[in-house]
Every structure is written in C-alpha cells, then in structure tokens.
Chain A
Amino acid sequence: MSIEISNVGKRFADFVALDDVSVSIPAGRLTALLGPSGGGKSTLLRIIAGLERADTGRVEIDGVDATTLPPQKRNVGFVFQHYAAFKHLSVRRNVAFGLEIRKRSKEEIRRRVDELLALVHLGQFGDRLPTQLSGGQRQRMALARALAVEPAVLLLDEPFGALDAKVRKELRDWLRRLHDEVHVTTVFVTHDQEEALEVADEIVVINEGRVEQIGSPDDLYDRPANEFVMRFLGPVTQLGDQLVRPHDLQLSTDSGDGVPGRVARVTRIGFEIRVEVTTADGQPVTVTLTRNEFLALGIGTGDDVRLRIAPNSPTTAVSTPAQRADLAAANS
C-alpha cells in the first residue's frame, strides 16, 4: 500500500506550508517525516489523510488517486498528538468505532476489539473511560482504534510528543515492535531526530515546505545531502569551512599534520569529555572524546594540540550567507 505524493503545494494565507513536494513512500515500511516545527511535515501528513486539501499536486494511495477523496473514503488510520479520544465512549467503544460505522456484526466487533486491546496491552481497561487512562495508555488506545479498520496506511502525527521522556522511549520501542508484527505501511511525523533515527526504516527530512533529503537513517547520518540535514541530525562543529561531527574529530599532541590549536576548556559529561579548542586562526572548535581517549592523550587546558578529521567522516561545506541566497534563488 504505497503512497505517491507528486508536486503537492499548500498555502495558508501568505504562508507557504508545502512547496512542490514529491515523495514516494514504499509499502510496508515505517517512514518518518522529520523536520523542525512549522516546516510543513504535519501538513503533508494531514494532506495524505485528507484532513487538509492540497492546493496543487496529486496524492495516490495504493495506486488510487486520492487527491479529492474525503478522509472517510481513504481507508487511513490517523493517530493524533493529543490522542483525540472520544471522551464520552469507553475504551472498547472507542476501538470499536470504525467497525460500528462499517456495520460489522456484534460478534465480529467483539472479537476484533478483544484482539486489538490485547495487542496494545489494554485488555483489562476496556470498560474505562479515556479520562481514566494515562497519556501512554490513551495513545495506545488511539493506535488500536486506528488499526481496527485495517487501514491501508497508518499515519501518526507527533504520536509521542505529549508524553514524558520515559513513556516516549517505551512507546517508541513498542511502535517499532508492533510494526514488525503488523507490517502496515506507516508514516509518522516527528521533530525528534533521535526518534526518527531509532524507529524509522526510511526518513524524509522536510524543512520550510521542501524535502531536503530522503534516505535510510544510515544514509542520512553518513551522507547528509546538505548543511541543513547535517545540522539537524546531530551535533556539529566547524573546522575551517567544513561542518563535522564533534566525535569525528581527532586530537593529537605530536607535531604532524592537522590544524594547530590550543585547548581552551575541558568539560566532562558522564562518559563523554568535551574539549574546546581554539585554532591558530582563532576559530572555536568542539571535540568530543571518550574518557579513555582523553586519558590516553594526557592533555589539559592551555596545551597545544593538532586537530584532524577522522578518515571517511561525513562533512559538509558551510555555505556563506551569499551562497545561501543564491541557493534560495536557484530553488525558487
């Protein structure tokens, strides 16, 4: 049940939410739409669901043109950030909703709801009201409700955004395992790069209404297409005109090749040592080392060191403001 999005554009008054976006989402995979807030990723998800209408372009779900179909005819399951639980209905009735609408028999509904409640570990909570559940339980109920109608695609809009860190981590693992069991084509929106890297098979990076890069977590991390992706996916530091990850920098005390600098500050954060080095040109560079690497080097504040980028590390060139303007002009 693949999703084909071609040349989709969407404006809200003067704000361009999506600008000529084309993405193809493969069947049976877990795909993340990743990007900063306001970048257009939720709008894209809502357009796939039919909750928003695209101004231009086409949406195809499982080979069928869905561009003008209303949401109830798209056979998608949608999970909202704030659960959207039906507050006046019990957990069972929430999960049964889509099946009742489809006029399935009482017996079938009962069986299916039991199955789903067991799947999301809410078996003994069927008769409660949503307000009597915790946030994580409510979101699992919402997921069971969306899965009940056997959707062609499952869409999740920042599904763990309203939960505290610990529950978020649990549900993330659980979603991954669930997807390995159920195999429904799943698209979820997140602004948390760690969540996307950990859970997704495929990541679509969206920023300012445009797709920046599509690829597997490894592709994105090891071969970022541009400065934005490099910066968004993890910590970066700048050496000369190259952006590089702080843990891909090597320090040495010998007088071999590399950029000379002086240690300005050493901070220890648990198992990680952060060394701030000022180069001979006065550029501040951050290097992170493990505790053992740091001890082996035997350096301290004020020592002279040489900085090198470890071989085969991903780097991107930093664009100057003038280049950025050129880039923007070329894209528009």
Chain B
Amino acid sequence: MADSSIATRSPVGRRPGRHLLRLVVVAYLFFLVAWPLYLVGSNAFTDGFTSFEDILTDPDVTHALRLTVVIAVAAVVINTVFGVGISILLVRYDFPGKRVLNALLDVPLSVSPIVVGLALILVYGGRDGWFGPTLESAGIQIIFAVPGMVMATVFVALPLVIREVVPVLQEVGDEQEQAARSLGANAWQTFRRITLPSIKWGVIYGVVLSLARSLGEFGAVKVVSGNVLGDTRTATLVVEEKYLNFDKGGAYATAFLLALVAVACIIVVSVLRPKEER
C-alpha cells in the first residue's frame, strides 16, 4: 500500500508546476491576442449592424474589400506555385549557393514591410526607378497600381508556403518518387500523383497562412499603392483612413471583417487537418 501511494504521488507532485505554466500561457495569450481581438469585435457591434451597413454600402469600401481579395488571391497563387517549386529545389537537389538561397528566403520575414515597399519603388518606380521607366514606356505601370501591390504582398508572404512544405518533403523522403519513376512515371506524373498528395497538408497550411498574411498586409502595400481612394486603396488602408478620420465604427467594422476571414481560414484548416499529421 505504502509503495503504491508513493508511486501515484510522483506525477501528482509535478502538477502544480504544470498548472502554473498553463495559467501563465493562457493569461499571456488572453491579454495579448484574445482580449484585444474580442474588443475589436465588440466595438464593431456597439451600434448593432449599422457600422457594417455603412461600410458595405460605401462603394469606396466595397471596392477596397474587393481589391484586397483580388490581391491576396493573386499573391497566394503565385506564392504557392513558386513556393512548392522552390521547396522541391531546396530539398531534392544540391547546387552551389543553396545555403545562400535558403537564408535569402527568410529575408521577407525579417525585413520591415515598409522597407520592402521602398525597395520596390527604387526598382520599379515610374519616374526614377531602375527598371520602372522602361516598363512604363512599354505601357506597364507597376508602382501605384495593382501589379506593384501584388508584388509587395507576394514578397512579404513569400516564405510561408516554403517553410510549411520543406519539412514535409524532407520527412516524406524521395523513395516513393523513385519508385514511381521506376514504374514508368515521368517527372510531371510523379509530381502530380505522388509528391503533391504526400505534401498536400503542408501546402494547404502554407496557403492558409499566406492568405491570412496577404489579407492583412499594410506597410508595403501602403508605400507602393499610393493609397488612391476608390482605386488602389485596400481594406487595411481603409481601416487606417477611417480611424484617423474619427470614423471609429467604420474602422472597427472593417478591421473585424479582415480578422474574421483570417481567423476563419485557420480554424477551418485545423479542424479539417487529419489528427495523425504533425
């Protein structure tokens, strides 16, 4: 009896520490993430749905929301295609400069988006950019137009797909691909039938993170868009504009819509994702 009570005691002895740790983590997330986000929501609904009616009937705001979606979707498509390609390159092939490339891929996460915006202007700016005047004389406007805004968004969300897909590719290994090749599949068939299904969840998670990040991009887009009302103003720029103009109801309502879409994406994927993965 004495022995068994001691044996059952040892895990109990560790519990208070674990509870404390859990409490700290929950409190930290509550005060930093959950409570502020909740306040955005509650502020958006202070007058019921009137703020939402106001913004959704304002053609400038609906244009901004539509523009945000178009830019985010375009950026996600580009980042997914190149992200999967770069991941395969990084994991399956050896080439000189691989480590440099790998390090370069983290630059978008570490550099401030404002810097990204300014850098794009230096290269593609229509008046005195390095490449911009050439393009502009060919009739292609990058800066203060949708292409520049897509580029800025692609830039800031670039590593998200790659960082999700690379570990999955490494874990899966290349034996299944070799088996497919030996059974007669060419490179494309191998990719579509074997590689893609086995990295599916990594890609989906990367897409969701990129989508959430792209919807919310502010700094880089603000610099390259020119923030023209009804033309190149995105949803995040609307939030800032409304907030600065003391239209708090409109600002919170728009912010709430942005947060809602992003959070919904992440929740849907974590529910769908099979339990045995990661």
Contacts and interface: CB of A to CB of B under 8 A. Distances in A.
A70 B183 CA distance: 11
Contacts of B193: 97
A103 to B, nearest CB: 10
A4 B178 CA distance: 23
B181 interface: yes
Contacts of B186: 72
Given A72-B186, A80-B175, A82-B175, A88 B181 contact: no
Most chain-B CB neighbours within 10 Å: which of A72, A77, A85? Answer: A72
Given A75-B184, A84-B175, A97-B193, 7 more contacts: A51-B181, A71-B182, A78-B182, A84-B179, A97-B180, A145-B179, A149-B184
Nearest to A142: B179
Interface string A132-165: 0000000000100110110000000000000000
Contacts of A75: 184
A80 B180 contact: no
A146 B186 CA distance: 16
Interface in B166-203: 175-176, 178-186, 189, 193-194, 197-198
A156 B102 CA distance: 36
Interface of B: 175-176, 178-186, 189, 193-194, 197-198
Contacts of A148: 183
B183 A101 contact: yes
Given A87-B198, A88-B197, A101-B189, A49 B176 contact: no
Contacts of A82: 175
B48 to A, nearest CB: 48
B176 A87 contact: yes
A76 interface: yes
A273 B107 CA distance: 70
Interface of A: 49-51, 70-72, 74-78, 80, 82, 84-88, 97-98, 101-102, 142, 145-146, 148-149
B92 to A, nearest CB: 13
B51 to A, nearest CB: 46
Given A86-B194, A88-B197, A80 B183 contact: no
A51 B183 CA distance: 12
Nearest to B193: A97
A97 to B, nearest CB: 5
Nearest to B276: A131
Contacts of B183: 72, 77, 97-98, 101, 145-146, 148-149
- Nearest 5 CB-CB pairings of A with B: A98-B183, A84-B175, A78-B182, A84-B179, A71-B181
Contacts of A149: 183-184
Contact of B185 (A84, A101, A142, A146): A101
B157 to A, nearest CB: 27
Contact of B182 (A49, A87, A102): A49
Contacts of B180: 86, 97
B180 to A, nearest CB: 7
B195 to A, nearest CB: 11
A80 B179 contact: yes
B194 A78 contact: no
Given A84-B175, A87-B176, A101-B189, A51 B198 contact: no
